[in-house]
């Protein structure tokens, strides 16, 4: 997964490399769904099976975001934001039969990452009058 980043960046524009990597991430996470019981046992024994892979995945996403930051995507997005979004997609639509839906959700996420002129106001649940 993580080792694929240099090759993806060499073969495609950064925004396309990021998009391709996201699809591969969903494929990767789909294989992990079947390991849930084994992972729960490791966690119950006090281990953190995700620590090393979380760091490696974060570094891979950061590299892709940095490469695409030259006008293609927003500059206020962190690698952890992308990983959380992708993890949510893999949990909600990670089954093989849901692959089309996962692809649409990745496309939606890519649209949300794209650079927009001007700064967006952050949502506040404390808006007056609501």
What are the structural domains, with CATH classification, of the chain?
7-113 (1.10.357.10)
Kindly report, residue by residue over 11-40, the tens digit of the pLDDT.
Answer: 999 999 999 999 999 988 877 666 656 656
Residue 60: what pLDDT? 94
| C-alpha distances in Å from residue 110, one per residue of 30, 50, 61 | 20, 25, 13
Dihedral sign computed on CA atoms, order 84, 107, 90, 59: negative
State pTM to two decimals: 0.78
Pull the structure tokens for residue 45: 């024994």
Q: What is the chain's mean pLDDT, rounded?
A: 82
CA dist., res. 109 & res. 111, Å (int): 5
Rg from Cα positions in the chain: 17
| C-alpha distances in Å from residue 46, one per residue of 39, 42, 67, 104 | 11, 7, 37, 37
Kindly report, residue by residue over 91-118, the tens digit of the pLDDT.
Answer: 888 788 899 999 999 999 999 998 666 6
CA dist., res. 19 & res. 100, Å (int): 15
């Amino acid at each position: 997964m993580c080792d694929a980043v240099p090759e993806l960046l060499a073969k495609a524009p950064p925004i396309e490399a990021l998009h391709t990597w996201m699809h591969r991430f969903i494929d990767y996470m789909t294989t992990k769904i079947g390991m849930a019981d084994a992972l729960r046992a490791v966690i119950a024994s006090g281990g953190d099976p995700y620590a090393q892979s979380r760091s490696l995945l974060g570094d891979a996403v950061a590299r892709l975001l940095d490469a695409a930051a030259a006008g293609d995507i927003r500059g206020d997005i962190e690698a952890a934001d992308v990983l959380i979004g992708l993890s949510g997609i893999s949990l909600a639509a990670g089954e093989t039969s849901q692959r089309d839906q996962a692809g649409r959700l990745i496309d939606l996420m890519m649209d949300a990452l794209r650079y927009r002129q001007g700064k967006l106001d952050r949502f506040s649940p404390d808006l007056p009058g609501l």
